Amino acid sequence: MLFGRKAIDRSLGLGHLFSMSIPLVIIAVLICLPLLRYVGFYLSNKRTRELRDIRTRCGENFRASFFRAYCTAVFSEALVVLMLPFSRLLKSSNPGGGTPVIFVHGLYHNTSAWIFFRIFLARAGHGNFHFYGYNSFTRPFAPAAEGLAEFMDKVLADNPGQKVALIGHSLGGLVCRRAVAEPRFKGKVAALVTLGSPHHGSELAIIGMGPMARSLYPGRGIDSILEDTPDVDAPRLAIYTLFDDYVFPLSCLKIGRDGWQEQVCGPMSHVNMLYSQDISWRVAAFLDAALKE
């Protein structure tokens, strides 16, 4: 009987220890993974000599900016984990009509990416929101772009006489670029915005899982496809951060094509762009200007 009690006490103690260790492991992962990515960011930009450009733009604040971006990476990825189950909360809304805005998430994410961004844009006066989701784990790039084109057809049909504006984060920006190039959308796109999109791939993709991620490595697939893809005849904006921890080196973020505006935002991580009020204000100002044209 005594042996049985000791065994139970021991098992309860181990169970308590195990339950305590799970949060510690999660915290360690959230701290260490961004750190490892920023090591990759540093080495990649140093190898291509673009780190010098980043330092020059930051001036004496390089270390502080670097640390700030790292902190936003830890914060934003914790928020991603918490928000992932709530993707079903985001449904199309059309209060008062207006130009439909289609949101397209990035790699390994879902429509929950836009929970806060939608709120910020609504405060800026926009409200006709639509959210496109796609499988970026096991499917290649082409079906995602084709699916978005079909989704645009539906949104346009539901909003007769309107054009659509598209906002894509990360890989979502590339999906948007490919979809809007379809001839049937000529004259039907009001604006296109990409946030931290790997327009020329990313060296981090070398460790990517799935065909979509692997094809993001520079020169391997998606960037080659988009090189031959014509740009939509509408105002276009690419926003990126100098301290992107998913897309590097820096040149991969610069689209470098005629007709595009490029804006560099403050020091923040790749994912934090989704939760930044500054980014949402930039996008709202761009959309307002584009819709007046």
Q: What is the pLDDT of residue 8?
A: 46
Q: Please list the pLDDT of the chain residue by residue as tens digits (293 residues).
A: 444 545 544 554 555 544 556 666 666 677 899 999 999 999 999 999 999 999 999 887 999 999 999 999 999 999 998 998 888 877 887 766 789 999 999 999 999 999 999 999 999 999 899 999 999 998 999 999 999 999 999 999 999 999 999 999 999 999 999 999 999 999 999 999 999 999 999 999 999 988 999 999 998 778 888 988 999 999 999 999 999 999 999 999 999 999 999 999 999 999 999 999 999 999 999 999 999 87
In terms of Cβ atoms closer than 10 Å to its own Cβ (0-12, 13-18, 19+), residue 128 is: buried
Specify if 22 maps to a domain: no
Q: What is the pLDDT of residue 182?
A: 96
Specify if 34 maps to a domain: no
How far apart are alpha carbons 56 and 54 in whole angstroms?
Answer: 5
The count of domains in the chain is 1
CA distances (Å), 204 to each of 36, 144, 198, 215, in order? 11, 21, 11, 11
Please, what is the end-to-end C-alpha distance for the chain in angstroms?
84
Neighbours of 58 (CB within 10 A): 16
In terms of Cβ atoms closer than 10 Å to its own Cβ (0-12, 13-18, 19+), residue 153 is: middle
Q: Which domain holds residue 186?
A: 85-292
Q: What is the pLDDT of residue 13?
A: 56
Q: Which tokens in the block code for residue 141?
A: 């790039």
Q: What is the pLDDT of residue 39?
A: 97
Specify if 32 maps to a domain: no
137 alpha-carbon distance from chain centroid: 15
Specify if 99 maps to a domain: yes
Specify if 11 maps to a domain: no
The CATH number linked to 287 is: 3.40.50.1820
Neighbours of 175 (CB within 10 A): 30
Q: What is the pLDDT of residue 89?
A: 78
Specify if 77 maps to a domain: no
Specify if 161 maps to a domain: yes
Specify if 17 maps to a domain: no
